[in-house]
Structure 1
């Protein structure tokens, strides 16, 4: 069987790679495995996460690219569709794609983590986009996934608890209004009775 040769000008790890010069990679593709672009998704942070190892308040978004072959990929992030270069946003990406055991063949996956400062996390409509560039042997294909913040007033409060508190506040406010109306009606009734008694006494 003939095997397809795949050249790509950046370093990654594959099953049987060879490197030439400064970063040019030669990969012998397995003819029994179909070239397949990655499936990309963004995982939201745990509800319990609030600080990093240094004690700074942050939330971590995890970008997962999986089920692709070969392993010619690179991962990048943008903040409101602008490249992230500020040290304020810490990015941690796997050094290379790792083999993922699949029953239907040998595929790969790679993950990248973006640590978002809490001051950006609590603001609504802030966009964080993970872009995975995949080289299929001919062209670079880009897969994008965007996460948009919902905005939370209290950094230590989850969205679910925030909604629950506001709903309870609305119910309490409604009950308070009903009680006030009932109290006003009782006062009016009492005043009306007192006025009636005074009228009878004057007669």
Structure 2
């Protein structure tokens, strides 16, 4: 079998076994994660009123990594938080060989974003050939004095406005009915006096 024909192709077996055939023998010296950062992304319409945090782990080899998130040091499993992680680490060509990077995005509800001292931690688990090494980075919210108009505050304001408007209409109707009653009584008295 000619292995040169298969060089640099990846093959997948089953639900997660991956085989990478390398063209030339190279020394497989694992390189631990050199950089992990959590960055705040903008509030985007497709985030459904949520703020996106982006975790980027880079400069590691081989590409055996997994990414997880915690909220105040508790594992994120709630549907309120949406996590979107790259399906696999991507290779970045370097002069001294190949290194990989992976990104993961966490959608944070506004109600958690505007509170101070909420911790979101991105943990990257890296298999170096013999052991799993965990690296993490924590992002702590500072809180926002004026977060702008959130959906919750908009609903509350509009409900209060509807109630106030309804009360004003009812008061106006009662006032109009009272005025009509007084006018009718006065006209009745005038009619009696003229007779």
TM range, smaller chain: 0.5 to 0.7
C-alpha distance in structure 2 between counterparts of 1:125 and 1:139, whole Å: 33
Stretches of structure 1 that go unaligned for 5 or more consecutive residues are 1-14, 158-203
State the secondary structure of the residue aligned to 2:145.
Answer: coil
Residue equivalent to 1:144: 136
- The partner residue of 2:46 within 46, 53, 60 is 53
State the secondary structure of the residue aligned to 1:62.
Answer: strand
C-alpha RMSD over aligned residues? 2.2
C-alpha distance in structure 1 between counterparts of 2:115 and 2:105, whole Å: 20
User: Contact (CA 8 Å) 2:59, 2:101: kept in 1 or not?
Assistant: yes
TM-score scaled by structure 2? Answer: 0.64
Residue equivalent to 2:29: 34
Aligned: 1:81 with 2:76: no
Deviation larger for 32-41 or 130-139: 32-41
Stretches of structure 2 that go unaligned for 5 or more consecutive residues are 1-7, 150-195
Residue equivalent to 2:58: 66
Deviations 1:10-36 (A, max 9, x none): xxxxx5555555534455686345311
- The partner residue of 1:108 within 100, 107, 110 is 100
1 or 2, which has the higher helix percentage? 2
State the secondary structure of the residue aligned to 1:85.
Answer: coil
Residue 44 of structure 1 and its aligned partner are, at CA, apart by: 1.8
C-alpha distance in structure 2 between counterparts of 1:109 and 1:145, whole Å: 15
For these two proteins, the number of residue pairs brought into alignment is: 139
Residue 74 of structure 1 and its aligned partner are, at CA, apart by: 0.4
